[in-house]
Structure 1
């Protein structure tokens, strides 16, 4: 049997061997289900002001007592969480920082386990802790002293430890290309579409197309596999085609290597075709739900609706772009049957070989779920994954948008 885990007032992780492990499936605390060993790269987070819950000898959930707080794990790419930490939330306590917390337990040897499943085996090496990063950043700044975009990514890499910014200074994998795009969706503060609540900084300037081309083409020419608009702290890149369109065209004038990707909420269908004609390769559409009512409550769109997102997806397919639908997963919401049915309906419109990306939604889970109340009992994330695998077998499922293979 798995044992409960909690943190003490000093933040130390403590095993409570007298209590069985509990998890919150989005409807109620339950016994721990499927789990994997805590993966390398995961972060353990004590949940301040959230009392830990365990299961007594009868299997009933019980608070572990004063000064014992719940613990969550934030998982590295490749994993999707199956359940949230089980906790007691007193009235009036602040919202949790919106991160993608997964339930944590301990096995009979004391090894930590998480309620998660690995669905993406592709390696994603993280260079943020490399000893030579500071020197690489300095070298990159010296090579392009007048490029404001390089200076911004240097700050993001050094001060905010951004993975996609760090990649820019080693020509590794995927590099973010921020263009200070404005936002046209305003989710509640207790929700984060990027799975994390680590500090970020939006670019305080509007990069020129030339600055983007200088950075992005060098990244791809140096061996990087992908450059991406619309990542992390960015707003909506479809709102600034006057920058993104000539930037894409300029990159392709310099090099045909690598993949040019754009992540979007799909709010401006007319811009999708323009960017495709300029040389965009792949586009990912980010949705917390394919049901209009739920979409409105989570995304809080300004000036567009879910019908526009579907129109953008259709535009991308017509333009022969490689399409990914990025589902922002919240156990207890995403695995409701009506939500799943709409996701599968959308998936059925995608060409074979398109990507279905499952990205954990960062949230204060209990309070986020209260935004979309339902009497419906969730199916459970394991059943959700089974249905996706069987009913959307024509799609490639993973946790990251993959660059195109070029020959």
Structure 2
């Protein structure tokens, strides 16, 4: 049995060896049974004002006591959580979006986390801050008139955005902000746009010209970068900025055939996606919190579109022979309900062979999800993963988009 852990008021992690580790499965607190050693890059955080729970000798989950805060782990890319931290709150506690996994300690006192590895994440490691700062300074000096470069410099320095930093390192993928408007308004405590390496602190305000976008993209791809991406976490919905983006894609492809041009979207405007494909888009990832229309619309709060439009965009991507990924926002206690899983398998089972199903932890307060969707009986995320692997053998199960070319 794993031991419970908690944080004291100073934030220090403390083992409670006389209590068993507990996990919240979306319906109830129970024993933490499946866990792995803390992965490299995982962040352990105290959950202030959330009273930690542990199992007593009879197996009942109880509070560990006043001032003993719960502890959660934010997982790096490549992993998905199996359960939430178990804690108690009062009715006045604010809803706080998060993607925390339950944590405990093994017999040696080493931390373990309720998670499963989906794939090995092989992105380049972080560059020391001093070296990155020098690269950013060089980039600003070389392109003093580029508003887009100045925006990415701010994102890299102030918000530590990896995809913005890559624009100065000339590696991997870069995110191009275009100040697209928002057409999703999820309920309080739920954030459907957050990503593993980018929690949007503010929406990008810059509206770059197509020439600014094309110049940055071509330079990145010709210097060794692999991907230019629209629609990352700091953006609104890129399909609502169709005129800017489709012209930019056409200009990029008129100047270079290197790398991939990628779009991350909620799939709300199928006609715009078709335009992007005609302009030269290579790949698209369409994000869903559920494959059931009723659940989807409660989670996402769509404005001006419905889940039928999302399905139409998935079909449009397949017809255009784009490299297609469906990003599934996984929430223990919701995604692993039988009806939700049936709908997900049905949707993904219709995808073209070689398409990707990308699993990412939904950023949400578990209490908010129960409030919006209602309680349900979970099967377990481990069973969800087993069924996806068994019934979707022709699809790639992962967590991050790879720079795949048009197929």
Same fold, TM-score > 0.5, yes or no: yes
Match of 1:395 in 2: 395
Q: Determine if contact 1:126/1:163 at 8 Å carries over to the other structure.
A: no
Tell me, what secondary structure is at the counterpart of 1:252?
helix
Q: How far off its partner does 1:406 sit?
A: 9.0
SS of residue in 2 equivalent to 1:240: helix
Match of 1:51 in 2: 51
* Residue 137 (structure 1) aligns with: 136
Q: 1:198 Cα deviation (Å)?
A: 4.3
Give a deviation string over 1:353-407, Cα, whole Å, max 9, x none.
0000001111111222221014x31100000000000111111000001111699
Q: 1:166 and 1:254 mapped to 2: Cα distance?
A: 23
Who is 1:368 aligned against? 369
Paired residues in the alignment total 405
Query: Residues 99 and 195 of structure 1 are in contact (CA less than 8 Å); yes or no, is this contact kept in structure 2?
Result: no
Residue number in structure 2 paired with 1:32: 32
**C-alpha deviation, 1:129, in angstroms:** 4.2
Question: CA shift at 1:189, angstroms?
Answer: 3.0
Q: 1:294-333 alignment to 2 at 5 Å?
A: 294-333=295-334
What's the C-alpha RMSD, in Å, of the aligned pairs?
1.5
CA distance in 1: counterparts of 2:228 and 2:116, whole angstroms = 28
Q: Which runs of 5+ in 1 are unaligned?
A: none
Deviates more, 1:339-348 or 1:361-370: 361-370
Q: Call closer, same or farther: CA 1:22–1:13 in 2, change over 3 Å.
A: same
Q: Distance in 2 between matches of 1:393 and 1:311?
A: 24
In 2, Cα distance between the equivalents of 1:224 and 1:396?
A: 23
After TM superposition, give the deviation of residue 127 of structure 1 in Å.
Answer: 2.2
Measured after TM superposition, the shift of residue 240 of structure 1 is: 1.0
1:205 aligns with 2:219: no
Query: TM (normalized to structure 2)?
Result: 0.97
Provide the rounded CA distance (Å) in 2 between the counterparts of 1:122 and 1:154.
25
Query: TM-score scaled to structure 1, two decimals?
Result: 0.97
Report the Cα distance in structure 2 between the residues aligned to 1:105 and 1:74, rounded to whole angstroms.
14
Tell me the SS of whatever aligns to 1:48: strand
User: CA-to-partner distance for each residue in 1:331-356, whole Å, 9 max, x for gaps?
Assistant: 00000010011111110110000000
Q: Report the counterpart of residue 168 of structure 2 in structure 1.
A: 169
Q: 1:180 to 1:397 in 2, by over 3 A?
A: same
Question: Residues 202 and 316 from structure 1, CA distance in 2 versus in 1: closer, same or farther, beyond 3 angstroms?
Answer: same
Equivalent position of 1:114 in the other structure:
113
Q: Report Cα offsets for 1:165-193 as digits up to 9, x if no partner.
A: 11111011111011000011111231122
Q: Give the match for residue 70 of structure 1.
A: 70
Deviations 1:287-320 (A, max 9, x none): 0001111111110000000000000111111111
Q: Is the 8 A contact 1:51 1:65 kept in 2?
A: yes
* Cα 1:349/1:181, change in 2 over 3 Å: same
Asked if structure 2 preserves the Cα contact closer than 8 Å seen for 1:262 and 1:283, the reply is: yes
1:121 and 1:13 map into 2 onto residues whose CA distance is 28
**Is contact 2:283–2:406 with CA below 8 Å preserved after alignment?**
no
- In the alignment, the residues of structure 1 paired with residue 239 and residue 302 of structure 2 have an alpha-carbon distance, to the nearest angstrom, of 14
Give secondary structure in 2 for the equivalent of 1:132. helix
Q: 1:169 to 1:39 in 2, by over 3 A?
A: same
Equivalent residue number for residue 5 of structure 1 = 5
**What pairs up with 1:173-252 in 2 under 5 angstroms?**
173-193=172-192, 194-195=194-195, 198=199, 200-252=201-253
Show CA shifts across 1:188-224 (max 9, x none). 2311221468462322221111111111111111111
**Residue 268 of structure 2 corresponds to residue 256 of structure 1:** no
Shift of 1:262: 0.1
Q: CA-to-partner distance for each residue in 1:121-156, whole Å, 9 max, x for gaps?
A: 141234254540000011111111111111101000
DSSP 3-state at the match of 2:108: coil
- Residue aligning to 1:22: 22
Structure 1 CA distance, aligned partners of 2:43 and 2:147? 32
